[in-house]
């Protein structure tokens, strides 16, 4: 029985990986660390500055984010409040949904849960896989999300990439890799690092309570350790009379 189950599981693996990725494109791994506050703060800054113009994260309030990431209300007000008036506001996109739909053909989706609906690796690879495509209305395409309606908003950082495709034995075009046509203001390593910070922040955004849970978790473990001593002493006390 066990063997049969293992076999079934192994047989379904290719289907599982195909269902989660973008048309068989290899996703790059990303080091997520919700304990890295500096990385989360950098990610928050990128998100607020470059994504909130079109996308919302409408389950999150600015002051909650500030509190979680250790950013004071003054700093939130000065540096992160472009799209709202009050620190208690929800993180709503600047551009009304109807206008965005008119501009791009599709309304930019709310990004609160994107790293849970997709995967952190998907998001990280997506943000690094935009390439120039003269046939697309925005001038951009993406190997992870073919014919995406989103333009590459960070191209000044990353530069312009060209995607190289090669025909395989069956005449099907297979993605080979990227070639940098015009460098951006960041090196590849710097851009990857910035996208890792952004992915880290998106993972936090998908489940903000995780940070609180980690903190409480440590106290719970300390409590259990102390409790164990008392429980042990109590057990000894009870069993003394039985023996
Ligand atoms: C100019 C408007 C605009 C900006 C700015 C923008 N996006 Fe988008 N984005 C879009 C549109 C439009 C789509 C929908 C694409 C589609 O469905 O073809 C999209 C789709 C996405 C998706 C895919 C969502 C999904 O699951 O289908 C992700 C992820 C994403 N954007 C991330 C970002 C991030 C991160 C930023 C900031 C660095 C950003 N976007 C900035 C317009 C924008």
**Minimum CA distance residue for ligand 1 atom 27:** 109
Q: pLDDT (tens digit, 9 = 90+) per residue, 61-98? A: 999 999 999 999 999 998 888 778 899 999 999 888 88
The phi, psi pair for 162, rounded to 5°, reads -115, 135
Give me ligand 1 centre to Cα 218, in Å.
37
If you average pLDDT over every residue of the chain, what do you get?
90
Mean pLDDT of all residues in 89-118? 92
Give me ligand 1 centre to Cα 108, in Å.
5
Output DSSP code: residue 105. Answer: S
pTM: 0.83
Contacts of 178 (CB under 8 A, 6+ apart): 129, 131, 161, 162, 163, 164
- Distance CA(60)–CA(92), nearest Å, equals 9
- Distance CA(201)–CA(39), nearest Å, equals 8
What three-state secondary structure class fits 6?
helix
Give me ligand 1 centre to Cα 65, in Å.
21
Residues with CB under 6 A from ligand 1: 50-51, 53-55, 104, 106, 108-109, 111, 114, 118, 123, 126, 148-151, 153-154
What three-state secondary structure class fits 73?
helix
pLDDT exceeding 70 applies to what percent of the chain? Answer: 92
The phi, psi pair for 141, rounded to 5°, reads -140, 175
Long-range contacts, 67-74 (Cβ 8 Å, 24+): 68/204, 68/208, 68/211, 68/212, 69/37, 69/40, 69/41, 69/44, 69/204, 70/37, 70/41, 71/41, 71/44
Q: pLDDT (tens digit, 9 = 90+) per residue, 176-203? A: 999 999 999 999 999 999 999 999 999 9
| Percentages (nearest 5) of helix, strand, coil residues in the chain | 50, 15, 35
Strand (E) or helix (H) holding 124: helix 120-127
Alpha-helix runs per DSSP H in 142-208: 155-158, 188-206
Decide if 64 contacts 212 (C-beta within 8 A).
no
Which residues are paired to 166 by β-bridges?
A: 174
Q: pLDDT (tens digit, 9 = 90+) per residue, 130-182? A: 999 999 999 999 999 999 999 999 999 999 999 999 998 898 888 999 999 99
- Between 81-90, 125-134, 221-230, the lowest mean confidence (pLDDT) is in 81-90
> Class assignment of domain 2-207?
mainly alpha
């Amino acid at each position: 029985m066990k063997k049969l189950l293992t076999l079934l599981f192994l047989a379904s693996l290719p289907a599982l990986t195909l269902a989660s990725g973008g048309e068989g494109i290899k996703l790059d791994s990303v080091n997520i660390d919700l304990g890295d506050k500096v990385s989360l703060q950098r990610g928050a800054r990128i998100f607020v500055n470059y994504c909130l113009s079109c996308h919302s994260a409408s389950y999150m309030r600015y002051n909650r984010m500030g509190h979680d990431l250790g950013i004071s209300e003054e700093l939130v007000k000065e540096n992160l409040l472009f799209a709202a008036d009050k620190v208690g506001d929800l993180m709503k996109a600047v551009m009304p949904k109807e206008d965005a739909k008119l501009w791009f053909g599709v309304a930019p989706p709310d990004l609160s849960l994107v790293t849970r609906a997709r995967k952190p690796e998907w998001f990280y690879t997506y943000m690094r896989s935009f390439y120039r495509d003269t046939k697309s209305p925005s001038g951009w395409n993406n190997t992870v999300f073919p014919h995406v309606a989103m333009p590459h908003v960070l191209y000044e950082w990353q530069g312009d990439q060209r995607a190289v495709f090669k025909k395989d034995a069956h005449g099907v075009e297979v993605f080979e890799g990227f070639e940098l046509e015009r460098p951006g203001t960041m090196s590849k390593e710097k851009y990857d690092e910035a996208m890792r910070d952004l992915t880290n922040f998106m993972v936090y955004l998908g489940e903000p309570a995780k940070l609180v849970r980690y903190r409480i978790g440590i106290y719970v473990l300390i409590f259990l350790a102390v409790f164990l001593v008392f429980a042990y002493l109590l057990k000894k006390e009870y069993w003394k009379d039985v023996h």
